């Protein structure tokens, strides 16, 4: 709930209501996509391997990048 309050600038009461009334978990999906975007930006801005972030979201960014490369390669008859 704290993350929802931070990300959407709302009170805990509003966050709790949104989480309860969101059967499709859209709020959580937005939180995840925002975290992905922050991780991707941090990776893109890293000046060296020592500056590169780590963690599960960074791994997800790498997985998505690898999948995009694989699909591109398959599209070329690979």
| 25-57 pLDDT, tens digit each | 999 999 999 999 999 999 999 999 899 999 999
| Residue 64 burial (CB count, 10 A) | 12
Q: Taking the model in full, what pTM does it have?
A: 0.79
Angle CA(64)–CA(69)–CA(71) in degrees, nearest 5?
95
**pLDDT score, position 76:** 79
- Domain positions in the chain are 2-75
């Amino acid at each position: 709930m704290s993350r929802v309050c931070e990300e959407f600038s709302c009170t805990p009461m509003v966050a709790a209501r949104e989480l309860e009334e969101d059967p499709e978990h859209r709020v959580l999906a937005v939180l995840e996509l925002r975290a992905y975007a922050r991780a991707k930006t941090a990776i893109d801005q890293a000046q060296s391997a020592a500056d590169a972030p780590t963690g599960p979201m960074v791994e997800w960014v790498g997985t998505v990048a690898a999948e995009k490369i694989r699909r591109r390669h398959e599209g070329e008859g690979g």
